[in-house]
């Protein structure tokens, strides 16, 4: 995805947010109704106010949930195709969805709720064509503005996440680049085939890395290709001191996740756990589905967490990763780091499967 490209449709059904928005809209409709029919006798009693407020809230909740569900369903059906829509097509989606939602919810609400003249659904407004059209346009404009603002906010958050991803990439590559090139130079005369293998693996790594840089999310398979190329380079350098295994079922390789979600975990295992160890060790990358969640584990048998702290590890990479995961999934994304007996570290990443 290009930095200025329109991101995938940023609409997901969130009941509590919808309920909060419905309460605000319902309060606004109550005030509007009072302004349009302040002389009606029902406004002179607490029971009349309670009836008007209750009806407005019920109608706004029904309308809000219907429109929000339609937005979420439409975005899910379009998926990545939302990014390819033209300006007028996105405008049609943003304006048309509230109109369809109104066409569905208003008749249902009229049947379910006993109306009163002092409420927006009372006979005074229902029997006036101009009033009905004005009401529909008002509601449509409110929802269009709400979802358009929400889309802009999420687009800004995605752009911030992309900038952070580029910063992470810029921090990762120089150290790895210079070390690899230095190793290739040192091997050119002593072991030419090994130098060639390292250079080929490094080329694969750069190709996969550049692909990750161009998009804020990709598939688990693409991430594993990047990790495999990275580990092949490191293994050429560490030789028999490093062994690794990628244990992921082919069906899971199509799972989507934020770019560079697993690679920093593998790099941490190498840099802090295995490279400093005289004996080296092994690292395993495994993934599975667990109750609708994608769980990825990176396990090493290196020096462990205490050695990482003693070596001056700041945890910056993990903190950056947690921030990017929170932007993408909120509290639904979980990253945990735990020691492994007798020594080593296990990093576990848990994400909603198929949420991106």
pLDDT at residue 296, rounded to an integer: 96
Q: How many CB atoms lie within 10 A of CB 250?
A: 7
pLDDT at residue 6, rounded to an integer: 36
Q: How many CB atoms lie within 10 A of CB 221?
A: 14
Q: What is the pLDDT of residues 180-196, one digit of tens each?
A: 666 677 777 777 887 88
Residue with tokens 């070596």: 311
pLDDT at residue 4, rounded to an integer: 35
Residue 282 has pLDDT above 60, yes or no: yes
Q: What is the mean pLDDT of residues 108-132?
A: 51
* Average pLDDT value over all residues in the chain: 75
Cβ-in-10-Å burial (0-12, 13-18, 19+) of 239 comes to exposed
Q: How far apart, in whole angstroms, are the C-alpha atoms of residue 104 and residue 223?
A: 43
Q: How far apart, in whole angstroms, are the C-alpha atoms of residue 266 and residue 253?
A: 17
pLDDT at residue 143, rounded to an integer: 65
pLDDT at residue 246, rounded to an integer: 95
**What percentage of the chain exceeds 90 in pLDDT?**
17
- Report residue 308's pLDDT band, with 50, 70 and 90 as the boundaries: low
Peptide bond before residue 260 is cis, with ω within 30 degrees of 0: no
Q: What is the mean pLDDT of residues 236-249?
A: 90
Q: How far apart, in whole angstroms, are the C-alpha atoms of residue 244 and residue 84?
A: 40
66 close to 2: Cβ distance less than 8 angstroms: no
Q: Greater confidence, 113 or 32? A: 32
Lowest-confidence region among 145-159, 179-193, 237-251: 145-159
Q: What is the pLDDT of residues 4-52, one digit of tens each?
A: 333 344 556 677 777 887 787 777 777 777 766 666 677 777 877 787 7
pLDDT at residue 64, rounded to an integer: 81
310 close to 265: Cβ distance less than 8 angstroms: no
| pLDDT winner (highest mean) among 1-15, 121-135, 147-161 | 147-161
Q: How far apart, in whole angstroms, are the C-alpha atoms of residue 273 and residue 319?
A: 18
Residue 213 has pLDDT above 60, yes or no: no
Q: What are phi and psi of 304, to 5 degrees?
A: 95, 180
Lowest-confidence region among 49-63, 77-91, 158-172, 260-274: 158-172
**What percentage of the chain exceeds 70 in pLDDT?**
66
Lowest-confidence region among 12-16, 246-250, 266-270: 12-16
Structure token digits, residue 119: 């409420």
Residue 238 has pLDDT above 90, yes or no: no
123 close to 65: Cβ distance less than 8 angstroms: no
- Residue closest to 241 by CA, chosen among 272, 197, 282, 193: 282
């Amino acid at each position: 995805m290009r930095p200025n490209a329109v991101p995938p449709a940023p609409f997901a059904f969130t009941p509590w947010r919808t309920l909060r928005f419905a309460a605000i809209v319902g309060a606004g409709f109550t005030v509007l109704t009072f302004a349009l029919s302040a002389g009606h006798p029902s406004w002179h009693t607490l029971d009349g106010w309670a009836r008007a407020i209750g009806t407005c809230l019920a109608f706004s909740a029904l309308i809000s949930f219907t429109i929000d569900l339609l937005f979420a369903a439409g975005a899910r059906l379009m998926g990545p195709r939302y990014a390819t829509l033209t300006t007028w097509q996105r405008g049609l989606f943003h304006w048309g969805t509230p109109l369809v939602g109104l066409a569905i919810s208003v008749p249902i609400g009229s049947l379910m709720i006993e109306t009163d003249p002092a409420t927006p659904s009372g006979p005074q407004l229902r029997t006036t064509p101009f009033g009905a059209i004005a009401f529909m346009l008002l509601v449509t404009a409110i929802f269009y503005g709400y979802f358009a603002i929400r889309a802009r906010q999420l687009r800004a958050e995605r752009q911030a996440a992309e900038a952070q991803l580029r910063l992470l990439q810029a921090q990762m590559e120089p150290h790895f680049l210079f070390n690899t090139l230095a190793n290739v130079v040192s091997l050119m005369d002593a072991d030419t085939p090994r130098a060639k293998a390292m250079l080929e693996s490094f080329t694969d790594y750069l190709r996969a890395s550049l692909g990750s840089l161009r998009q804020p999310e990709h598939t688990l398979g693409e991430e594993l290709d990047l990790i495999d190329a990275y580990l092949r380079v490191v293994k050429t350098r560490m030789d028999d001191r490093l062994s690794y295994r990628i244990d992921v079922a082919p069906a899971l390789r199509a799972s989507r996740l934020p770019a560079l979600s697993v690679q920093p975990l593998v790099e941490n295992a190498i840099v802090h756990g295995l490279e400093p160890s005289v004996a080296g060790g092994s690292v395993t990358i495994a993934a599975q589905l667990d109750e609708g969640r994608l769980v990825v584990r990176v396990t090493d048998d290196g020096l462990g967490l205490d050695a990482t702290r003693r070596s001056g590890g700041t945890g910056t990479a993990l903190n950056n990763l947690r921030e990017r995961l929170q932007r993408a999934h909120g509290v639904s994304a979980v990253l945990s780091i735990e020691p492994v007996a007798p020594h080593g570290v296990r990093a576990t990443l848990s994400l909603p499967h198929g949420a991106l």
